[in-house]
A and B are shown apart, each in its own frame.
Chain A
């Protein structure tokens, strides 16, 4: 998964996984969370989710809880760095949203 480093934009999948792991959650929980919170608009496939979790772990934006390697259901939690990244993304989205409102006008068009 490629997140735009320069502009700071995250992919939707990345941002949603970061939000989901703000409380400890295992793979299935993350899947359910994202599907529920987006009203079914985003339903992540298991392979895509696995890729996202691996990438985010490598970047140290999320981490597994506990050290049990044989645990089938590993829980993940967002790291300090991950929280910072998510906050930056929130700010960026708010900026974009304001810009869009100014140009397109508010309301649901």
Chain B
């Protein structure tokens, strides 16, 4: 039996991973994923385990190399987007990353910010990061990603707020635009702080 689900996860690592593992526990294995859709096939309950990893900070060559490495371990790797943007021929600046990861392009690493890693269940817990130092570094990247979104969202909200009180005419409903971007910014900030705390906790260990 096939099953198609439509979902979008703002909490793109933790929640998405939990949901995929719940689906696997019910006997559904991921076979394809699009921007918002997930296609499942029936399997034995708990036959597979899933990990969702953020790789948006990696350069194109590192991205490919890491994927190959995971596949070499016998895992199946799906790539997944964090943004909802369908455009092709896109280049985006990522100030929170290092080196060659700073520019994400489509085709390229844009819309492939996540790896959904599937492993056949061998009874052992499935984790990609196990070293506390490594975990601290990983959550720091997530923190920076969300905080970057928070700053961008709030900055745009402020711009619309300014447009309400000045002759600057940007859109028809500046209040609505301000509320939408402000909300995105605030939610990003909440996740940023959450991941900052996790990173701090690992660093102290």
> B131 contacts A13, CB within 8 Å?
yes
Say yes or no: is A24 at the interface (Cβ < 8 Å to chain B). no
> B72 contacts A48, CB within 8 Å?
no
Q: Which of A20-51 contact B (CB under 8 A)?
A: 26-28, 31, 43-48, 50-51
Say yes or no: is B134 at the interface (Cβ < 8 Å to chain A). yes
A-B contact count (CB 8 A): 55
> A2 contacts B75, CB within 8 Å?
no
What separation, in Å, do the CA atoms of A27 and B28 have in the docked complex? 29
Partner of A46, one of B70, B124, B133, B137: B70
Q: How large is the interface on B (under 10, 10 to 19, 20 to 34, 35 or more residues)?
A: 20 to 34
What separation, in Å, do the CA atoms of A48 and B136 have in the docked complex? 11
> B130 contacts A48, CB within 8 Å?
yes
Q: How large is the interface on A (under 10, 10 to 19, 20 to 34, 35 or more residues)?
A: 20 to 34
Interface centre among A11, A50, A53, A74 (most CB of B within 10 A): A50
> B73 contacts A45, CB within 8 Å?
no
27 A/B residue pairs, CB under 8 Å, sorted by A: A1-B134, A2-B133, A11-B131, A27-B69, A27-B72, A27-B73, A28-B72, A28-B73, A31-B73, A43-B124, A43-B130, A44-B130, A44-B131, A45-B127, A45-B128, A46-B70, A46-B117, A47-B128, A47-B134, A48-B129, A48-B130, A48-B134, A50-B70, A52-B131, A72-B71, A72-B72, A73-B72
Residues of A near any B CB (own CB < 8 A): 1-2, 11, 13, 26-28, 31, 43-48, 50-53, 72-74
Give 4 nearest A-B pairs by CB, closest first.
A47-B128, A45-B130, A72-B72, A45-B128
